[in-house]
Amino acid sequence: MNKIKASVIGASGYGGAEAVRLLTTHPHVEIVHVTAETQQGQIMSTLYPNLRGFIDQTMIAVDAERIGRDSDVTFVSLPSGKAMHMVPALLEQNCKVIDIAADFRLHDATLYPPWYKFTHVAPDYLREAVYGLPELHREALGTTRLVANPGCYPAASLLALLPLLQHGVVQHEGIVIDAKSGISGAGRGGGGGLGFAEVNENVQAYGLPRHNHIAEIEQELSSLAHATVQVVFTPHLIPMTRGILATAYARLRQDIGEDEALTLYETTYREAPFVRVLRDAYPQTKATMGSNYCDVTVKIDPRTRTAIAIAAIDNLGRGAAGQAVHNMNLMFQLPETTGLLAPGIFP
């Protein structure tokens, strides 16, 4: 087959650069453009020396019409609120789009002002966009031209909870998600308080009580449960570069043993090549770092009638760029594991 011509808008950020890293060795992809707002004119491998010899292109300014004409697919990895201004122009050039930010994750445009503090300028595309979690929407991903890549926290949280909600094992009320992320989740730009001296040997909660990822978690869980699902979500910043560990607590609706619950997870994820159900170990971020894998397990506390579901992912892999490439494979009818089968980096 002819190579898929791919471009990455926002290639200077961590998510965009990780997409470039994965695409450089993808057997069916040719990278045609990499763009950067603040680093345009820089050579990609100067900014990311790990890519030296793999991609030495100069990062250009964004020209959505040109990029759309030259590309079969464009990955947009910009801060939320920016992609919606250029995605329509890309689509008009018959270019498929994978938005790694939040601009097309929510189906309801009225949710953007309260959760993201902006008014959506391209609301007509929200219903068309497919939420890019294959374990929920694999078939739709194979026919869409616009993918809304999940957020990093939602990817881990949804994969932890999906089997329990899908099979009606837990109550819809009172779900609590406690999650930890490495500092790369803030992006290359970062922000105040993310220097080594502030982050090292320090753990802190943030974004309470309305972290914007709650909206997509509740949207997808409610759709899965065919009922309104609300969650309490507490994210924490921890002193490591990459990784997310999400622990979800849900009250049981029916008596279920731990072995039965694990079998439920194994059955649910039997056709999911990047989800590994652990029976005799706990998920850990180090085991998924640098990969597109998600490790999950579930424990049952009969004393409190609580299911405790745990998931670990790489926030830049399964939580961003790895998932985006996974979605591209599905959009172009490639085996979904193409270019993504490398194990995590350990230690």
- Please check whether residues 245 and 306 belong to one and the same domain: yes
Q: Is residue 38 part of a domain?
A: yes
What phi, psi does 38 have (nearest 5°)? -95, -15
Instruction: Give the three-class secondary structure for 347.
Output: coil
pLDDT one-digit tens code per residue, 182-217: 998 777 665 566 778 888 999 999 999 999 999 999
Q: Is residue 158 part of a domain?
A: yes
Residue 265 sits at the vertex; the CA angle it makes with 311 and 161, to the nearest 5 degrees, is: 50
Q: Is residue 337 part of a domain?
A: no
How many Å apart are CA 27 and CA 45, to the nearest integer?
A: 20
How many Å apart are CA 62 and CA 59, to the nearest integer?
A: 9
| pLDDT value, residue 266 | 98
- Please check whether residues 134 and 165 belong to one and the same domain: no
Structure tokens of 204? 């802190």
Q: Which CATH number fits the domain that encloses residue 268?
A: 3.30.360.10
| pLDDT value, residue 184 | 87
How many Å apart are CA 314 and CA 318, to the nearest integer?
A: 6
| pLDDT value, residue 330 | 98
Q: Is residue 340 part of a domain?
A: no
| pLDDT value, residue 190 | 58
One-letter amino acid for residue 104 of the chain: F
- Please check whether residues 203 and 272 belong to one and the same domain: yes
Is 152 annotated as catalytic? yes
Q: Is residue 345 part of a domain?
A: no
- Please check whether residues 26 and 161 belong to one and the same domain: no
- Please check whether residues 301 and 203 belong to one and the same domain: yes
| pLDDT value, residue 195 | 79
- Please check whether residues 262 and 322 belong to one and the same domain: no
Give the pTM.
Answer: 0.95
Residues constituting the chain = 347
Q: Which of 152, 183, 312, 340 is catalytic?
A: 152
How many Å apart are CA 123 and CA 139, to the nearest integer?
A: 23
Q: Is residue 347 part of a domain?
A: no
Residue 71 sits in which domain range? 4-150+318-331
Residues with pLDDT less than 50, the chain: none
Instruction: Give the Å distances, CA to CA, from 194 to 186, 299, 330.
Output: 9, 34, 36
Q: Is residue 338 part of a domain?
A: no
- Please check whether residues 159 and 286 belong to one and the same domain: yes
Q: How many CB atoms lie within 10 A of CB 309?
A: 27
- Count of structural domains, the chain: 2
Q: Is residue 135 part of a domain?
A: yes
Share of the chain above pLDDT 70, in %: 98
